[in-house]
Amino acid sequence: MPIYRLFAFTAFLFLITAQANSTIKLSVGQWSFDTIQAQQLQFDIDLTTTGLAIIAQAKLLTLDSPIGTVTNLRLRCEELNLLADTFSCRRGTLSFWQSELGQQNITFKVMGKPEQKNYTIQINGLRIASARLAATVYLNNNDWRLIANTAKLNLVEFQKYAMPYLEQNQLEMLEEWQIEGNIKLSVDMSGSIDKVTKLLLKVAATSLNITDKDSQYVSEGVALTLDIDANKDKQKWQWQTALKIAKGQAYGDPVFIDFNATPVTMKATGIWQQNTDIITVNKAVFNQKDVVKVTAKYKGSIDKIGLLTINLTESKVADLYTNWLQPFMVGTAIDNVDLDGNIALEYHQSANNFYVSVDMKDVFIDDKLDRFSIEGITGSLGWTNYDHIMKTDIQWDKAIMYAIPIGRSRFQAQTRSSSLILSQQWNVPLFDGKLKIYKFNLERPGEQGAKWTFDGQLTPISMELVSHALGWPVLHGQLSGTIPNVSYSNQHIEVEGLLTVNLFEGTTIIKDLQLDQPFGALPQLYANVEMKGMDLSILSRTFDFGEISGKLDGKILGLRLSNWRPVEMDAYFATPENDKSRHRISQKAINNLSKVGGGVGGALQRSFLRFFEDFSYKRLGLSCKLHNEVCEMSGVGEAENGYYIVKGGGFPPRINVVGYTRRVDWPDLIKRLKAVSQSSEPIVIE
């Protein structure tokens, strides 16, 4: 029931008593006036030394909705004073029963000047749900003021009490939530007729538990205080508010806050233009102890931003990440990292245009899965969709990316219209060489159609250093090459043109290189690879395969890697047709090639050929067509019951190596290759 209607009802009874005649007793069986009806109405009036004492009773009283029917009404005034233009009751009680309000026992004081339409009503003990309400109402012509407070209001009981007075959409919204706890309420509001022009509200809540039906928003044991001060001038509301949450815990998917450890305060001032529904926040300050402090300004409607500025003062990035960022990073590459250093942020938005600037000071990032780490990140990152330039200038001391060491580097770029381009060449030290990036463009990251492109060059890098860092067999020689235009769009990386790599004194050309879902759970790589002029002497020593001299060409067509494992390819490696280099192969290499092809190792140890250290050959080669984890194998020519892996020729002694296994399970072939690469002596397999 709206409180002001109860006050109006009380005032009405006082007006009746104020105009009572001098009759000591008055009984009326039934009485009606406009929409008010009463049954068994009785007045008792006594003359006392301090004035009149009056008792008014009604068995049944019917009023307009939402009050409705009131029974067993009893009004008593111990000191009723009636003067020419004034009446007052300094000590009064009122009791009645009503279906929603239940039994009420109220004490009151009242003073009125009817000709001036000036009234003051004070009541105590009005029961709303489980709470007792004290209130004072001031009426002066069309102006009014209400001051009320309650010490403890149980929210569960209050919901039950309020339901009969709520509209259907409000009831439906309430059904979406479960709310428990107690609040202490204090309100001072005033206005004219049915309009509010000033509001001062203080709320203190304890043991506040709130849960929506999907458990996306949950609070437990929250203790808070909320102050609201608002004043209306014509159509403009000026307001200020302060919120403090000192105890409890809260979860709003996916963020969790423990207010016991990190209490929160928020203060804001602003204006609400009621006729245009424009909200202006002159200043808002959010402070989470030992975590972050944010200041903001806003102008716009509820659903449309006109102007917004957010400033995050310098904060420890580790605390900020743990409390606010990490929940949003689950499933990404940075969902489990150690952090250190400080970060600050400035964000500005006007309508749909924005800029953001992030300042970092000695930031450290270390992935707990040992995939990457970066130390000493310092500088500023700028991004905007405005048509003016913002600068980015970031440097770091050192980094590691998948065991690849990256030296000190500096990244300088310009941002404009949601695009970023390098300001100058970006040099990234890798091992004993450098990755030189000449061009790098980034467009609309995080948006639909985001893409980036770059090209550059890799200066010679020692393969021995690469091998050691990646845990590979020791590779000799150097790795270098050019990087043509590389582009990324819609979770897809594509290399336009040829990617050239110099390795084992030969040239490897990678073309049609594509990568789908590179940062997803199951990345897919596609490519065609051609290798020319690789030195077998360096290659065989690298993998301890046994000494082989000569050149080797190769092709890998239709290569597809799924999660970085080969699942499909047509690979062929062989001696070039017109190779004029010296062709020799050692016993160990012959033995290992025999095992790869499914033959019996150690055969030379049981023949007179064991007295020769190496042999001459004309051609060697091996191929594999991989599909459904089965490798269809062949060599450089067909042999009886098999295929030639090594075809003898040249000066004696000459030897042929024949493979007999045509179909090999891919995992089994990998095991053979690992066994060969890890053996230092020929293995005799009987």
SS3 label, residue 426: strand
pLDDT digits (tens, 9 = 90+) for 535-594: 988 887 776 678 889 999 999 999 999 888 889 999 999 999 889 899 998 888 888 777
Q: Is the pLDDT of residue 612 over 70?
A: no
Token pair for 525: 């790589």
pLDDT band at 597 (very low <50, low <70, confident <90, very high): low
Peptide bond into 653 cis (omega under 30): yes
pLDDT digits (tens, 9 = 90+) for 210-254: 999 888 999 999 999 999 999 999 889 999 999 999 999 999 999
Longest dimension (CA), the chain: 147
pLDDT band at 598 (very low <50, low <70, confident <90, very high): low
Residue 354 in contact with residue 346, Cβ under 8 Å?
no
- 18 burial type by CB count under 10 A (0-12 exposed, 13-18 middle, 19+ buried): buried
Nearest partner of 185 among 213, 224, 221, judged by Cα = 224
Angle at 289 (CA atoms; ends 367, 338), nearest 5 degrees = 5
Which pLDDT belongs to residue 79? 83
Residue 463 in contact with residue 476, Cβ under 8 Å?
yes
Instruction: Tell me the residue ranges of DSSP E strands in 274-403.
Output: 278-288, 292-300, 305-316, 337-350, 353-367, 372-384, 390-396, 398-401
pTM recorded for the entire structure: 0.74
Task: Give the integer Cα–Cα distance in Å for 41 and 27.
Answer: 6
pLDDT digits (tens, 9 = 90+) for 14-64: 444 444 444 477 777 788 777 788 888 888 888 777 667 888 899 999 887
Angle at which helix 587-596 crosses helix 666-678, to 10 degrees, equals: 160
- 121 burial type by CB count under 10 A (0-12 exposed, 13-18 middle, 19+ buried): buried
pLDDT digits (tens, 9 = 90+) for 108-159: 999 999 888 899 999 999 988 878 999 999 999 989 999 999 988 999 888 8
Within 350-462, where are the H helices?
none
Section 195-202 average pLDDT: 95
More confident residue, 449 or 109: 109
Distance from chain centroid for Cα 403: 29
Q: Is the pLDDT of residue 602 over 60?
A: no
Which pLDDT belongs to residue 174? 86
> What's 424's DSSP letter?
S
Distance from chain centroid for Cα 421: 27
Give domain limits for the chain. 1-141, 146-290, 504-678
| Element (DSSP H or E) covering residue 173 | helix 168-175
Section 650-676 average pLDDT: 78
Which pLDDT belongs to residue 166? 81
Which pLDDT belongs to residue 7? 43
Q: What is the mean pLDDT of the chain?
A: 86
Which pLDDT belongs to residue 418? 92
How many Cα atoms are found within 13 Å in the side-chain-facing hemisphere of 381?
11
pLDDT digits (tens, 9 = 90+) for 379-392: 999 999 999 999 99
Angle at 146 (CA atoms; ends 142, 152), nearest 5 degrees = 160
SS3 label, residue 594: helix
Q: Is the pLDDT of residue 473 over 70?
A: no
pLDDT digits (tens, 9 = 90+) for 274-317: 989 999 999 999 999 999 999 999 999 988 999 999 999 999 99
Q: Which of 8-12, 437-441, 455-459 has the lowest mean pLDDT?
A: 8-12
| Element (DSSP H or E) covering residue 27 | strand 25-33
Section 624-641 average pLDDT: 90
Token pair for 446: 């995080």
Angle at 373 (CA atoms; ends 342, 462), nearest 5 degrees = 140
Which pLDDT belongs to residue 12? 46
Residue whose entry in the numeric block shows the structure tokens 């203080």:
202
Task: Give the integer Cα–Cα distance in Å for 465 and 285.
Answer: 52
pLDDT digits (tens, 9 = 90+) for 511-530: 999 998 877 778 899 999 99
Query: Which CA distances in Å does 577 have to 84, 179, 365, 552?
Result: 129, 83, 52, 10
Which pLDDT belongs to residue 481? 79
| Element (DSSP H or E) covering residue 575 | none
Query: Which CA distances in Å does 453 have to 377, 484, 504?
Result: 24, 10, 29
Which pLDDT belongs to residue 675? 64
Section 433-462 average pLDDT: 87
Which pLDDT belongs to residue 601? 40
Residue 533 in contact with residue 551, Cβ under 8 Å?
yes
Cβ-count burial 51-62 (b if 16+ within 10 Å, e if not): bbbbbbbbeebb
Section 409-437 average pLDDT: 95
Which amino acid appears at position 135 of this protein?
A
Which pLDDT belongs to residue 167? 84
Residues of the chain above pLDDT 70, percent: 90
